[in-house]
Amino acid sequence: MSARIGICSAAHLHADSYAACLDGLEGAEFVGVTAEGDEVERTKEKTDEYGTDFYAPDELLARVDGVVVCSTNADHGDWVERAAAAGVDVLCEKPLAPSVTEARAMVEVCESAGVHLGVAMPLRFCQPVRNAKAALDDGALGDVRFLSGTNRGRMPGEWFTDPERAGGGAVVDHTVHIVDAVRWLTGEDVREVYAEIDTRFHDVPVEDCNLLSMELSDGTSFVLDGSWSKPDRWETWGDATLRLVGTDGVVSVNCFGQTIKQTRDTGDAGIRSVYWGSNPDEGLVRDFVDAVAEGRPPLKTGADALDDVAVVEAAYESAERGEPVAVESTAERLRRPERTP
């Protein structure tokens, strides 16, 4: 029996990739898409491209077993609550929410409803990352002493630069992927963040560059550049890299380095990179579809994503205060009663 899957809003750029992955995926039935407000027109325009139908929100939720939420960050909570009320499993775009308070509420509403909440972290399905995990698990690096990462891309524009709809700029957009990869690889959490942020590349009301200096729970240092620093006409959209330095070896991960360069001297194409490696989104969507069918949580759960949001929140606080900020762990956060205003 196929898992019936829908997409809630096509506001996020990744909706196109998830729709392509669902199309013809064995064990999945791509039922349709839905949206509300100013996202309706954009989402309706995608139906021909996706080869599917548009439904009103409640109508779609009544037809599916799981949904992929690709709305603005600020709207994630509303869609997750709706899906939970309908008894529908969720794969939510990253970050789970703009704040820890909102993210925690989403986790709790899904737990209360008995539905599974996953978060879209495709780098866990990236082959170079999986190769690095195998090397770590085999002890090839010895003890990890230092990590450095990048997630430098083009400025995405649209609602991504609206602090109310996105919750921030490059920090909220580009921190969580590499932070999640580090947690998955090492088993360690970020315990402290010192952040410097600025707006230097674009005329936007949010930060477009940042450098985070972090300390993991075992004392290991970890630095990350997650800026919107690539030119609009760069050969690729950006990068996602990670370097792990151990006592016995070093591993360098280039998540999208499996490319060839195509050069043309006519037209507007110029130099561009053609990616030939495996598609991490396919692994992400496959895992979610299987999780829905098997009644299990996806590989990346909402509860685990609380730590990612906490790192982002601490980074903004650090940048404002000009000093390192401690990051509370998921276990500590879930044990602590929610403060009332």
Is cis: bond before 341, omega within 30 of 0? no
Gyration radius of the chain over CA positions: 20
Q: For the residues 88-108, what does the mean pLDDT come to?
A: 97
1-14 per-residue burial string, b: 16 or more CB within 10 A, e: under 16 = eebbbbbbbbbbeb
**Residue bearing the bigger pLDDT, 36 or 268:** 36
Residue 157: φ, ψ to 5°: 70, -160
Same fold: 3-122+281-300 with 123-278+310-326: no
pLDDT over 60 at 340, yes or no: no
pLDDT tens digit sequence for 9-41: 999 999 999 999 999 899 999 999 999 999 999
Tens digit of pLDDT for each residue in 60-77? 999 999 999 999 999 999
Q: Give CA–CA dist 234/238, Å, rounded.
A: 8
CATH architecture of 123-278+310-326: 2-Layer Sandwich (3.30)
- What pLDDT does 333 receive? 57
Residue 118 has pLDDT above 60, yes or no: yes
Contact yes or no for 234/245 (Cβ under 8 A): no
Average pLDDT, the chain: 94
- Name every residue whose Cβ is closer than 8 Å to that of residue 110 and which is 6 or more positions away in sequence: 80, 84, 90, 116, 117, 302
Q: Find out whether 39 and 100 touch, Cβ atoms under 8 Å.
A: no
More confident residue, 217 or 266: 217
What CATH number is given for 3-122+281-300 in this structure? 3.40.50.720
Which residue type is seen at 199?
T
pLDDT for residue 341: 36
Domain boundaries, the chain: 3-122+281-300, 123-278+310-326
Tell me the average pLDDT across 292-303: 97
Q: Record the tokens describing residue 213, joined without a space.
A: 């200096």
Are the beta carbons of 95 and 120 closer than 8 angstroms?
no
By CB atoms closer than 10 A (0-12, 13-18, 19+), residue 128 is buried
Which residue type does 99 have? S
Amino acid letter for position 226: G
Q: How confident is the model at residue 265 (pLDDT cuts 50, 70, 90)?
A: confident
Contact of 327 with 198, CB cutoff 8 Å: no
* pTM reported for the whole predicted model: 0.93
